[in-house]
Amino acid sequence: MATRPRTIRLSAESYELLEQEAKRQGMEPDALADELLRPDLAGAADGDLDIALAHLAEFRSQLPDIDAVAIAREARRELEERDA
């Protein structure tokens, strides 16, 4: 497959993780990035909403349950106690 140089900006931490994983797998960072990105991009290019929603649901299931109203109430209570 022919490739053309492209620039993708990553945080230093993300690039370091990419380099470490590429080294562990015995590949170049750009090859690993392509391998990791291609499946998601191919699904998006096909317009497969079901795949995108499934990925989102999987990601969401790994997040902790958060009650934003309870957090806001607690923060307000703490502020009021500081002012009292």
Each residue's pLDDT, cut to its tens digit, for the chain (84 residues) gives 566 777 888 888 889 998 998 999 999 998 888 888 887 776 655 567 777 778 888 888 887 788 889 899 999 999 999 987
* Any domain includes 71: yes
Range of 68's domain? 12-83
Q: List CB contacts of 75: < 8 A, sequence separation 6 or more.
A: none
* Any domain includes 7: no
Query: CA triplet 2, 4, 5: central angle to 5 degrees?
Result: 140
State how far the Cα of 25 lies from the Cα of 12, in Å rounded to an integer: 20
Give me 45's structure tokens.
């290019």
Count up the domains in the chain and report the number: 1
